Structure 1
Amino acid sequence: PGKVFLIGAGPGDPDLLTLRALRLIQDADVVVFDRLVSPEIMALVPASVRRISVGKTAGFHSVPQDRINALLVDLAREGLTVARLKGGDPLIFGRGSEEAEELAAAGIAYSYVPGITAAQGAAASTGVPLTHRGLATGVRYVTGHRARDAELELDWASLADIDTTLVVYMGAANMAEIAARLIAQGLPIDLPVLAVGHATTPREVRLPSTLARIAADLAAHPIEAPVLFVIGRVAGLYADAALPLPAAARAPQLRVV
């Protein structure tokens, strides 16, 4: 049988792809990729390499997860080297471990290839740190969406920690509930929030707000998925209070001397 590499493609900027990930993508027989893998990353896949899209959107899975698991097993059993490409890191809300369990049960060799997370990419791109002395002593990642639109079952009391930065993945549809729950647990209504869409790519959009206003601001200025939210005092370090604009439009022009 072949082997499957569970690869993190990073937040979208191809310059943030690891060298190992790039080598495996270019040496693979087939690339199985998610919707969150940016077009810039996919442009690095050689034309001779077979591509299979298994993208998902909220409420619509073009390929159910069990079929993805079976697909990876079948491809490896054909003797192929499979690059399973995921946005961000395969072990942070990427279902990489679920696919690894299926591969292990089928006797297929696999390996993880870490990637820069969307949260790390957004922090670097916007200049908002995830931790900062005097503002945040820790950071927590949570998902703001449950499979089949199930109710969010989060430990709201522990999440409402003023000294911790909260990063919410896939939470745009439920941000009104998330903000209300956090406020009910004692977080201030004026706590800064920064929404970032398509972090690190030319399509990046930023929306600074607060817990009290974030749902209304999103309704007035919708951001196309993928979107993540940085909630906490560190988000107040974001200096640009303008309406969301592509990152490329706001980037300073550097002069080479």
Structure 2
Amino acid sequence: MTKLSVNINKIATLRNARGGNVPNLLNVAADIEDFGAHGITVHPRPDERHIRYADVYDLKKILKTEFNIEGNPNDAFTTMVLEVQPTQVTLVPDAVDAITSNAGWDTVTHKELLKEMISTFKAKGIRTSIFVDPDPKMIEGAAETGTDRIELYTEQYAEMYSKSPEKAIQPYAEAAKVAYSLGLGINAGHDLSLENIAYFNQGIPQLLEVSIGHALICESLYLGLENVINMYIHRLR
């Protein structure tokens, strides 16, 4: 089956908003693994507004499943990844002030940088992935960097899904065929949700892994809310 890696950035955001250590990021990550997830994803940013660099080192000590670290390969990020040695590093071309990821790599323009970074990480035995739009040219460029996988940026799919699932999936299915023919593993992420994930999974039979955070946490708030409210009521009777 396609593996689920849960992005826990939103848990860190909630913790940071109040200060202290509630919710406890490490405990939540361990629970997510116990609940059946196949991996944990984090995306630290330079301002550490959610995941802190220290969190990454702490998580490495306790995780039992695959650990995926996403981010722009600046010097601090690269040093951290090489020290932590996660299962996978996913390179994302985030601007410093980006609220969230909003584009894949131009793997043609940045080919030499990506080749250098991919080689550096693979030399340490870290599986590599490049965040890309569903553009065959960009996927061909990714293959030339030596990366193990690509991660398809799925915001466009999520936006179009409610209007026309068939049109939404088409460029991704075509991109996946190109990637598969070039020997690349295929991951995906961004705005995938309970509403649209099954159709995407069916339409991309080569899909190895999805990374989901924002939607999964939001859905958990709603799907778990009734249970928690009733637990409070029970204790107040």
Q: Which has the larger radius of gyration?
A: 1
Report if TM-score (shorter chain) is over 0.5: no
Query: Which band: TM-score by shorter chain?
Result: 0.3 to 0.5
Higher helix residue share: 2
Higher strand residue share: 1
* Bigger relative contact order, structure 1 or 2 (CA pairs below 8 A, ≥6 apart): 1
TM-score, L = length of structure 2: 0.32
